[in-house]
Amino acid sequence: MKSPLNFSIAQMEVTQNLEKNLEKILEFIKKAKGDIILFPELALTGYRNFQELSPDTVEVALREIQRSTGDKKIFLGSVFFKKDGYVNAYLALSSSGVSCLAEKELLFPGLDDLYYLKPGQRKGCLFLNSTTWIIAICFELRSPELVRGFLSEGLDGLIVPAQWPKLRIDHFKTLLKARALENQIHSIGINGVGKIGELELGGGSHVFSPSGEELGSCGDEETLLELTLDLKTQPLPYPLRTPFLKTSKLKTLDELKEIISKRRSKGQVMVFTNGCFDLLHAGHVDYLQKARHLGDFLVVGLNSDVSIQKIKGPERPINHQAYRVEVLSALACVDYIILFDEETPERLIHTLKPDILVKGEDWPEDKIVGGAFVKGYGGKVIRLPFNYNTSTSKLIEKIRSKGI
């Protein structure tokens, strides 16, 4: 049974002064009437030089907030320190402890990277009184795929902590409403006020129902919005459909050049890798997922049957190129596939000019075909580790040894 949720939405001025932010957070907690209190992105630390900030200082501040929670649940943004750096995170605090709910994966260019924040990876669902919520941190609101991916969890709502600029505050409201409507969920946006350097934040925190109705909003000043949401299942005027759309990922060179040009014009990063992918196995899938994670779209150069026979002899490939295209096309991490007949993809690399060229770590960097060319125009060459001790050749040998 979904009981009502009592939210207190703290639209606060976020500064670079942790002590000042902490004092303000504690004041909001005292004033809040709701048992669920939501704060903006990086509410505790603000955007600042995180290299000068001690993890112990943040830990002490979080523990002080935790001690003030009582029976309330507090959710706020803070830097989160990891072994390889720090990320923009959203934390949950209650009497039982402190935990990281989400890490910002899609960084805002010229802001998150300017403060040396790394792309996060942790995304999980938040469960509140038998309801399921997902966190999208600020810039991630612009990616509908992030929310769509969690609809299979029976999603009830979206929470968006932000430091959204006044210059584009109409985008914030529009996107919050769009995510609510298209997914038939509640959406809550908690924005900050004040400035990040010279950039003025817009406030304008909003709450929308699954039908797009505005349930609550704030102006551009520091304030506390109290709101009760009744999430009892309401009859929908139309069903929520999540269709499966099969599309062809195999492209010609001319088709791919045009697609890449259009996507690059929007600032997107192209990743390229190549291989035979004859008997697709866990190592292949892990490798391709990691490659896709490096940019905005992944192009796979696939050795044709002619190419493989030149390299491996007349007994290969096991699977015809049409079958290999079909299998790779079923992977969400693969965006486009292009066949090549040569022994190497050098011609493709010179024509497509990937932003990031990916190969396995078994390849020395100076031996990677096209590597020097890509680095010559400022692109990156990345060697990915293998997490599975398997290969197509090993699978074939194992099958033959068992007489299958």
Which tokens sit at 162?
């932000």
Q: What is the pLDDT of residue 403?
A: 65
Q: Are residues 159 and 294 in the same domain?
A: no
Same domain (yes/no): 205, 304: no
Question: What gap in Å lies between CA 204 and CA 172, rounded to an integer?
Answer: 8
- Do the domain assignments include residue 242? no
User: What are residue 126's DSSP bridge partners?
Assistant: 133
Does 83 share its domain with 127? yes
Are 266 and 209 contained in the same domain?
A: no
Q: State the pLDDT at residue 233.
A: 62
Q: Is the dihedral of CA 80, 86, 88, 89 positive or negative?
A: negative
Asked, for residue 317, whether it belongs to a domain, the answer is yes
- Bond prior to 385 in cis (omega within 30° of 0): no
Tens of pLDDT, residue by residue over 51-90, are 889 999 999 999 999 999 999 999 999 999 998 899 999 9
**pTM of the predicted model as reported, rounded to 2 decimal places:** 0.87
Instruction: Looking at the structure, tell me whether residues 170 and 95 fall in a common domain.
Output: yes
Check whether residue 183 and residue 275 sit in a common domain: no
Which pLDDT does position 404 carry in this prediction? 59
307 and 219 share one domain: no
Q: Which domain-ending residue is among 214, 229, 244?
A: 229
Q: Assess whether 83 and 206 both reside in one domain.
A: yes
**Same structural domain for residues 222 and 261?**
no
The Cα 79–Cα 100 span in angstroms is 10
> Are residues 84 and 139 part of one domain?
yes
DSSP summary character for residue 166: G
Q: Is residue 87 part of a domain?
A: yes
Low-confidence ranges of the chain (pLDDT < 70): 1, 233-235, 403-404
What's the confidence (pLDDT) of residue 234?
66
- Ranges of H-type helices in 187-344: 253-264, 282-293, 305-312, 321-329
* pLDDT tens string 8-19: 999 999 999 999
Q: What is the CATH number of the domain that holds 292?
A: 3.40.50.620
Residue after which a domain boundary falls, among 168, 194, 229? 229
**What is the three-state SS of 347-375?**
HHHHHHCCCEEEEECCCCHHHCCCHHHHH
163 and 281 co-located in one domain: no
Query: 86 — phi, psi (to 5°)?
Result: -140, 150
Query: Is the residue at 90 inside a domain?
Result: yes
Residue matched to tokens 């905005």:
296
Assess whether 225 and 258 both reside in one domain: no
- Give Cβ neighbours of residue 386 (< 8 Å, ≥ 6 apart): 283, 286, 287, 360, 361, 362
Q: What is the pLDDT of residue 248?
A: 83
Q: What is the CATH number of the domain that holds 138?
A: 3.60.110.10
Measured between alpha carbons, how far is residue 295 from residues 95, 103, 299, 323 in Å? 39, 17, 11, 27
360 lies in which domain range? Answer: 253-401
Determine the pLDDT at residue 212. Answer: 93
Place of tokens 């006020």: 193
Is residue 31 assigned to a domain? yes
* 237 part of a folded domain: no
Which of 173, 196, 229 terminates a domain? The answer is 229
Instruction: Work out how many domains the chain is built from and give that number.
Output: 2
Compute the Cα dihedral for 156, 159, 164, 166 and give only its sign: positive
Look at residue 248 and tell me if it is in a domain: no
Residue 72 in any domain: the answer is yes
